[in-house]
């Protein structure tokens, strides 16, 4: 049987008109997992002994016995609708939506979003957020109202009350759609409606559903549903109007296929030159064009190893291909090409455009990578390198779990490129760093819940930076044996130069001429740009010396000293950024023995630190852009939550039926924000934060904060006397 399904899938992969790439968008607990399970079972995509009569399940125990709950997975299934076969690929969206980026990435790879809403709870803030994200990415919505059994059994509602409640959900969802995508709502009929068949109702738990088309076909209507639920005849109901048929019919009928969708979607998700052959290949779903593959997910398979899953927009993936991976220098070789059939990965010879593929061998790819046979503008251009701004320690509660925890941490950092994992060499504890408090909280929960590893975590600690604010005098650093001296100055780099370096537009990896031009374009003087010796982080080291004997052979050690100085800045041993360090002169001992590492490194480190202090170095703190979507009556409370955190509200405006409050606030003050905003707005706010780089901490907080960090690190809390400019 499985072999037959595999053959059917392979056949369908070559017929893009018969493919639907979709995501399920739901508030947590509204039934995404249960629904996915039953769609798969209904489509016959889970192994034989689990399918068939066992499906007529009545109780939760049955469900548990079947044990088929597929957690957070990409799955594919086939479905027959009006005598045609369809291949339906479901891309997983993360259940948590506080990180817009993750959801957006999944939405970019699909053409339709099945919005699932719990009939009892109605639309929730997270439903709103995911629907908005789908619409922003130009993805067409349809609605499944779940848990209708609860209206009947728990709330004892009659037909009229039920209809009213369901209408309200439909109205809410339509208001969202109209607010976000008015043109598509009016002109392309993106409104969801019962009559059109873009709304279905049912119970994922009891495995039945109805819709206008299903009622016309089976004659089973709301009255029958109430009747059968009340009299415990769910099995019969399931047989006559099964969930998977009703929902997958809706998917096949109302969601666009890749050929219809890609011409609209490519301009939304890709900012490259639309007059090129590559753009045309993607819009036309050309399986003979250049390969373009968007990775949405990295997962670990016990047999195949690391698997990258995503959408093929153009060309055909084949084993052995050498493909570029965006954001990295080299190419990766595809080791195997596969697709999901049911929840299991099956290797195939090739996967053409329009499909969802899962491949191995892309060792440099991360979730969000663009993988292609020619160098191209990536889908999600990396606009700013997202540096972790908050860190906490994590340890397994049980020693035995340690190896498992290490493996999971490695995996987590691959799946979510904005998470950093390292070991604190001094204490041996693991540190995870990420984009904010909630980001780390969710990761921790995932490890505890999904992997079953109980962990203990430390308090979140914010990462700071140190940066010069003025030009220094020339200062010297002297080696312990007093035979070697370095004369340096430090000055602040302009924001434009810092950005150029951050974006990788000027780096030591590129040809010298190109680097010089990039630096000059960003405002660096010509002569300075010609003397660049090294770039460390966002700091530039200039060698302005001339004809000093032995300097070349000592340069490696000089740079080591420089790196040490910049890694642990003079204020609080936080990394230095945005400094231009100039070496003006040096005295070196004749004899190599007297200018070894133990002499040169400390001398250079001292010189750089002294110059940084003379350049009035300051502590910088990370800040975040904050966006809150909230009903207008809670707008004041929402903006108060930003202002009360040393933050600033920059903009307030209406979007659809909600008010949007935008501003910035320091990451440190954002700790605890998630519970505060919830209580301040009765849970009606949805919000996103995005890191917005580092900002100089106000002067009156500098000494206190520096002392606090030094204390935490076990350094002398007293500041060196030279740092008396506060």
CA separation for the pair 673, 537 (Å, rounded)? 31
The verdict on whether residue 70 carries a ligand-binding annotation is no
| 93 labeled binding residue | yes
C-alpha neighbours within 13 Å on the C-beta side of residue 10:
14
* Between 206 and 464, CB nearer to ligand GDP: 206
CA–CA separation, 202 and 457 (whole Å): 41
| Length of the chain counted residue by residue | 726
Q: What are phi and psi of 82, to 5 degrees?
A: 45, 50
> Angle 179-180-181 (CA atoms, 0-180°, nearest 5)?
105
Nearer Cβ to ligand GDP, position 61 or 651?
A: 61
> Considering the complex, what minimum distance in angstroms separates the CB of residue 147 from ligand GDP?
4
Nearest distance, CB of residue 393 and ligand GDP, angstroms: 29
Judged by beta carbon, residue 214 or residue 479, the one nearer ligand GDP is 214
Smallest gap from residue 129 Cβ to ligand GDP (A): 14
Q: How far is the CB of 616 from ligand GDP (least distance, A)?
A: 52
Report, in Å, the least distance between residue 37 CB and ligand GDP: 8
The set of residues, in sequence order, having a beta carbon less than 8 Å from that of 252 and lying 6+ positions away, is: 20, 79, 81, 82, 84, 86, 88
State the burial class of residue 526 (Cβ atoms within 10 Å of its Cβ: 0-12, 13-18, 19+). exposed
What is the distance between the alpha carbons of residues 189 and 183, in angstroms, rounded to a whole number? Answer: 9
Phi-psi region of 355 (alpha: psi -120 to 50; beta: other; left: phi over 0): beta
Q: Smaller CB distance to ligand GDP: residue 33 or 413?
A: 33
Smallest separation (angstroms) from ligand GDP to the CB of 674: 19
Tokens of 563: 């790196």
If the CB atoms of residues 33 and 689 are measured against ligand GDP, the closer one turns out to be 33
CB 357 within 8 A of CB 351: yes
Q: How far apart are CA 200 and CA 629, in angstroms?
A: 28
Q: Which is nearer to ligand GDP, 92 or 568 (CB)?
A: 92
Q: If DSSP codes are grouped into helix, strand and coil, which group holds residue 353? A: coil
Cα distances (angstroms) measured from residue 471 to each of 15, 468, 489, 539: 65, 8, 8, 14
If we measure between CA atoms, which residue out of 443, 472, 454 comes closest to residue 397?
A: 454
User: Do residues 358 and 345 lie in contact, with contact meaning Cβ atoms separated by under 8 Å?
Assistant: yes
Q: Is 614 annotated as a binding residue?
A: no
DSSP type of residue 723: -
**Complex with ligand GDP: residue 31 or 477, whichever CB lies closer:** 31
149 annotated as a binding-site residue: yes
- 707 Cβ contact list (under 8 Å, min separation 6): 717, 719
- Phi-psi bin for 66: left (phi > 0), alpha (psi -120 to 50), beta? alpha
CB of 29 to ligand GDP, least distance (A): 4
* Residue 26 marked in a binding site: yes
User: Which alpha helices (DSSP H) does 277-374 contain, by range?
Assistant: 277-283
Would the annotation count 94 as a binding residue? Answer: yes
652: β partners:
661
Of 90, 153, 144, 140, the C-alpha closest to 117 is 144
Least spacing, CB of residue 192 vs ligand GDP, in Å: 19
Closest CB to ligand GDP among residues 30, 595: 30
Cα 485 to Cα 155: distance, rounded to the nearest angstrom? 83
Provide the token pair at 395: 């340890």
* 147 annotated as belonging to a binding site for a ligand: yes
Return the number of the residue (205 or 524) whose C-beta is nearest ligand GDP.
205
Question: In the bound complex, what is the minimum distance in angstroms from residue 56's beta carbon to ligand GDP?
Answer: 16
Measured from the CB atom, is 145 or 291 closer to ligand GDP? 145
Residue 26's closest CA among 17, 35, 18?
35
The nearer residue to ligand GDP, 243 or 536, going by C-beta atoms, is 243
27 marked as binding residue: yes
Q: Between residues 33 and 688, which has the closer beta carbon with respect to ligand GDP?
A: 33
Binding residues vs ligand GDP (CB under 6 A) = 26, 28-34, 95, 146-147, 149-150, 203-205
| Residue 146 marked in a binding site | yes
Minimum distance of ligand GDP from residue 119's CB (angstroms): 8
Provide the minimum distance between the beta carbon of 300 and ligand GDP in the complex, in angstroms, as a whole number: 21
Task: Kindly report the number of other CB atoms within 10 A of residue 679's CB atom.
Answer: 10
**What is the DSSP code string of 139-173?**
PEEEEEEE-HHHHHHTS---HHHHHHHHHHHHHHH
What does the block give as tokens for 124? 């929730």
Determine whether the annotation assigns residue 439 to a binding site: no
* Residue 657 assigned to a binding site: no
- Asked whether the beta carbons of 304 and 388 are under 8 A apart, the reply is no
- Dist CA 517 CA 515 (whole Å): 5
Asked if residue 406 lies in contact with residue 475, where contact means CB atoms within 8 angstroms, the answer is no
Output DSSP code: residue 54. G
Of 30 and 705, CB closest to ligand GDP: 30
In DSSP terms, 293 is beta-bridged to: 312, 371
Least separation in angstroms between residue 659's CB and ligand GDP is: 28
- Residue 314 · residue 286 · CB < 8 Å: yes
Question: How near is the Cβ of 205 to ligand GDP at its closest, in Å?
Answer: 3
Nearer to ligand GDP, 203 or 262 (CB): 203
CA distance 347 to 563: 47
Smallest gap, in angstroms, from Cβ of residue 72 to ligand GDP?
9
Residues flagged as binding site: 26-33, 92-96, 146-149
Residues flagged as binding site for GTP: 26-33, 92-96, 146-149
């Amino acid at each position: 049987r499985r072999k037959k399904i595999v053959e059917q899938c392979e056949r369908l992969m070559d017929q893009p008109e018969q493919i639907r790439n979709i995501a399920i968008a739901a508030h947590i607990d509204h039934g995404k997992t249960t629904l996915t399970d039953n769609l798969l079972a209904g489509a016959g995509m889970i192994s034989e002994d689990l399918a068939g009569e066992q499906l007529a399940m009545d109780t939760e125990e049955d469900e548990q016995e079947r044990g088929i709950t597929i957690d957070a997975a990409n799955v594919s299934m086939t479905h027959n609708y009006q005598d045609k076969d369809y291949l339906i690929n479901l891309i997983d969206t993360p259940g948590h939506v506080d990180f817009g980026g993750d959801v957006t990435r999944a939405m970019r790879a699909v053409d339709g979003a099945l919005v699932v809403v719990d009939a009892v709870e109605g639309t929730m803030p997270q439903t709103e957020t995911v629907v908005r994200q789908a619409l922003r990415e130009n993805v067409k919505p349809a609605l499944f109202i779940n848990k209708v059994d609860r209206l009947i059994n728990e709330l004892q509602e009659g037909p009229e009350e039920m209809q009213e409640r369901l209408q309200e959900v439909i109205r809410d969802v339509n208001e969202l759609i109209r607010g976000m995508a008015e043109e598509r709502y009016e002109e392309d009929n993106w409104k969801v409606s019962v009559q059109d068949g873009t709304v279905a109702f049912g119970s994922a738990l009891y495995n039945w559903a109805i819709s206008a088309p299903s009622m016309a076909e089976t004659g089973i209507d709301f009255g029958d549903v109430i009747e059968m639920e009340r009299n415990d005849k769910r099995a019969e109901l399931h047989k006559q109007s099964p969930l998977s048929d009703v929902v997958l019919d809706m998917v096949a009928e109302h969601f666009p296929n890749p050929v219809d969708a890609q011409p609209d979607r490519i301009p939304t998700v890709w900012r490259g030159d639309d007059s090129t052959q590559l753009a045309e290949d993607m819009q036309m779903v050309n399986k003979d064009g250049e390969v373009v593959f968007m990775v949405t997910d990295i997962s670990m398979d016990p047999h195949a190893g690391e698997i990258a899953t995503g959408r093929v927009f153009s060309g055909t993936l084949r084993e052995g291909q050498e493909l570029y991976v965006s954001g990295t220098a080299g190419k990766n070789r595809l080791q195997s090409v596969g697709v999901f059939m049911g929840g299991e990965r099956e290797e195939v010879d090739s996967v053409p455009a329009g499909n969802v593929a899962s491949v191995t061998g892309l060792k440099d790819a991360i979730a969000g990578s663009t993988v292609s046979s020619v160098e191209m503008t990536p889908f999600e251009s990396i606009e700013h390198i997202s540096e972790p701004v908050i860190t906490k320690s994590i340890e397994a509660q049980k020693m035995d779990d340690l190896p498992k925890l290490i493996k999971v941490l490695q995996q987590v950092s691959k799946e979510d490129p904005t998470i950093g994992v390292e070991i604190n060499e001094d204490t041996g504890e693991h540190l995870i760093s990420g984009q904010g408090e909630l980001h780390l909280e969710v990761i921790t929960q995932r490890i505890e819940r999904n992997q079953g590893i109980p962990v203990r975590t430390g308090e979140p600690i914010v990462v700071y930076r140190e940066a010069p604010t003025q030009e220094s005098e020339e200062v010297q650093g002297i080696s312990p044996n007093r035979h070697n001296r370095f004369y340096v100055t430090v000055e602040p780099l302009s924001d434009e130069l810092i950005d150029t370096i951050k974006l990788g537009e000027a780096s030591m990896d590129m040809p010298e001429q190109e680097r010089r031009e990039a630096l000059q374009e960003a405002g660096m003087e010509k002569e300075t740009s010609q003397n660049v010796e090294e770039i460390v982080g966002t700091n530039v080291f200039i060698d302005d010396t001339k004809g000093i004997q032995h300097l070349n052979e000592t340069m490696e050690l000089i740079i080591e000293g420089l790196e040490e100085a910049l890694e642990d800045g003079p204020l609080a041993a936080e990394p230095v950024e945005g400094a231009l360090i100039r070496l003006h002169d040096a005295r070196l001992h004749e004899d190599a023995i007297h200018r070894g590492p133990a002499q040169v490194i400390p001398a250079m480190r001292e010189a750089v630190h002294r110059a940084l202090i003379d350049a009035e170095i300051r502590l910088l703190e990370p800040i975040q852009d904050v966006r809150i979507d909230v009903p207008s009556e809670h707008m004041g409370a929402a903006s108060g939550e930003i202002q009360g955190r040393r933050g600033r509200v920059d903009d307030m405006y209406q979007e659809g039926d909600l008010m949007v409050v935008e501003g910035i606030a320091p990451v440190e003050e954002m700790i605890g924000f998630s519970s505060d905003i919830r209580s301040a707005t009765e849970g009606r706010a949805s919000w996103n934060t995005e890191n917005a780089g580092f900002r100089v901490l106000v002067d009156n907080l500098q000494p206190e904060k520096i002392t606090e960090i030094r204390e935490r690190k076990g350094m002398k809390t007293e500041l060196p006397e030279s740092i008396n400019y506060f």
